[in-house]
Amino acid sequence: MSVAYALEKQVAISAVLRACSLTSSVFKKLVKDETVTKNDKSPVTVADYSAQAVIGSILAKAFPDDPIVGEEDTAALRSATAPPETELLRDRITTLANEALHEPLQPGDNEAWGIGPNAPIRTNGELLDAIDRGTHLGDSKGRMWTIDPIDGTKGFLRGEQYAVCLALIVDSKVEVGRFYNGDTFPLKLSSNVPRRLLESYESGHSSHGLSEKVSKILGITEPPLRIDSQVKYGALARGDGMAYFRMPTGVGYEEKIWDHASGDLIVSEAGGIVSDSRGEPLNFGLGRTLGKNYGVIGSAKSDHAAILKAIQQVSSESERSKA
Beta strand ranges found along the chain (DSSP E): 68-70, 143-151, 163-170, 173-180, 197-200, 225-227, 243-246, 272-275, 296-300
Catalytic residue set = 48, 153
Distance CA 226, CA 290 (A): 23
Based on the number of CB atoms within 10 Å of its own CB, is 137 exposed (0-12), middle (13-18) or buried (19 or more)? exposed
Distance CA 25, CA 156 (A): 12
Establish whether 151 is an annotated binding residue. yes
In terms of DSSP bridges, do strands 296-300 and 163-170 run parallel, antiparallel, or are they unpaired?
unpaired
Helices (H), 112-207: 124-132, 153-158
| Conformation bin of residue 252: beta by default, left when phi > 0, alpha when psi is -120 to 50 | left
With residue 317 as reference, give the H or E element that holds it: helix 301-322
Query: Cβ–Cβ contacts within 10 Å for residue 129, how many?
Result: 16
Query: Cβ–Cβ contacts within 10 Å for residue 12, how many?
Result: 27
For residues 44 and 153, is the Cβ–Cβ distance under 8 A?
Answer: yes
Establish whether 240 is an annotated binding residue. no
Nearest to 260 by CA among 278, 280, 239, 234: 234
Establish whether 148 is an annotated binding residue. yes
Q: Binding-site residues, please?
A: 71, 148, 150-151, 259
Q: Binding-site residues for Mg(2+), please?
A: 71, 148, 150-151, 259
